[in-house]
Structure 1
Amino acid sequence: MRAVVTRVKSASVEIEGKVNGAIEQGFLVLLGVGPEDNAESAQKLAEKIYNVRVFSDDAGKMNLNLEQVGGSMLVISQFTLYADLKKRRPGFSHAAPPAMANELYEVFMQDLRDLGVTVEHGEFGADMQVESVNDGPVTLCFDTEAL
């Protein structure tokens, strides 16, 4: 699994002109699923993101995690994180098949909920408009193959 995680002051996703999910302080997570991923990958990634300490403490140092600041997550499915960019037009054969990707997208979000995170989300496969007010900005890339 791959995730691009941005620390945000707020983020929201609209589908067909209607807000589908919105958060205040927390993380905007763009999540891609690869063909080798499984429920263990989802749990590992959820725990890693949940525990990363990138929120400022009273001294202004990035020393607090999501739980410590009472943050939430907005999770958006993003198969393009597995794009093959060798040619001018990206190929997506390296992404998991849609049914598998959707299932693991749901597993990932449930793993976050099990950790106590408030999770908002988009809709798998939908045309979505995502807005965010980045905080910092702080953006991190996670890949379960490297964890």
Structure 2
Amino acid sequence: MRALLQRVTEASVTVDGQIIGQTGPGLLILVCAMQGDSEAQAEQLATKISKLRIFTDDAGKMNRSVLDTGGSALVVSQFTLAADTSRGNRPGFSTAAAPADGERLYLHFARHLAALGVPAETGQFGADMKVRLLNDGPVTIWMES
């Protein structure tokens, strides 16, 4: 699985003019399941993200996790993280998981993150979503399982 996480002050996702998911201080996590990914990989990535020390401590150093800060997460499916731009000018997405697998693993990731103690809301898989965020730092990190 691939994830692009952003430390945010706030973030929300809107579908058809309605906010369907949001978070306050915490993380916006864009997630893409790749071909061959499993529930175990989704859980591994969620566990790593929950413990990743990218929030500042009292000394101003990135030394605290989203769990340490009591933050939450907004998890949004993002198949374009599978983009292959190695040939031509049009990205290919053939390495992304099939839609049914992608949705299952994306939701499994979000549920596991919540089970670890990080309240998590989601977007809507496959929908045309509008994502708003206020990046904090900015801190943006790319991860793969």
Measured against the shorter chain, the TM-score band is over 0.9
Aligned 1:52-91 pairs, distance under 5 A: 52-85=52-85, 86-91=87-92
Aligned to 2:5: 5
Distance in 2 (CA, whole Å) between partners of 1:39 and 1:22 is 24
Distance in 1 (CA, whole Å) between partners of 2:37 and 2:123 is 20
Q: CA deviation at 1:129?
A: 0.2
Distance in 1 (CA, whole Å) between partners of 2:41 and 2:122 is 19
Aligned to 2:137: 136
TM-score, normalised via structure 1 length: 0.96
Distance in 1 (CA, whole Å) between partners of 2:91 and 2:40 is 28
Matched, 1:27 2:11: no
Give the paired residue count: 144
Aligned to 2:17: 17
Aligned to 2:123: 122
Q: CA deviation at 1:94?
A: 0.9
2:126 aligned counterpart, secondary structure: coil
Give the share of equivalent positions with the same residue, in percent: 49
Distance in 2 (CA, whole Å) between partners of 1:12 and 1:68 is 22
Aligned 1:40-55 pairs, distance under 5 A: 40-55=40-55
**1:110-129 deviation line (CA, Å, top 9, x unaligned):** 11111011101100000000
Distance in 2 (CA, whole Å) between partners of 1:91 and 1:63 is 37
Instruction: State the Cα RMSD in Å.
Output: 0.6
Aligned to 1:112: 113
Distance in 2 (CA, whole Å) between partners of 1:10 and 1:114 is 21
Give the gaps of 5 or more residues in structure 2: none
2:92 aligned counterpart, secondary structure: coil
Distance in 1 (CA, whole Å) between partners of 2:48 and 2:110 is 13
Moved over 2 A (4+): none
Distance in 2 (CA, whole Å) between partners of 1:26 and 1:93 is 31
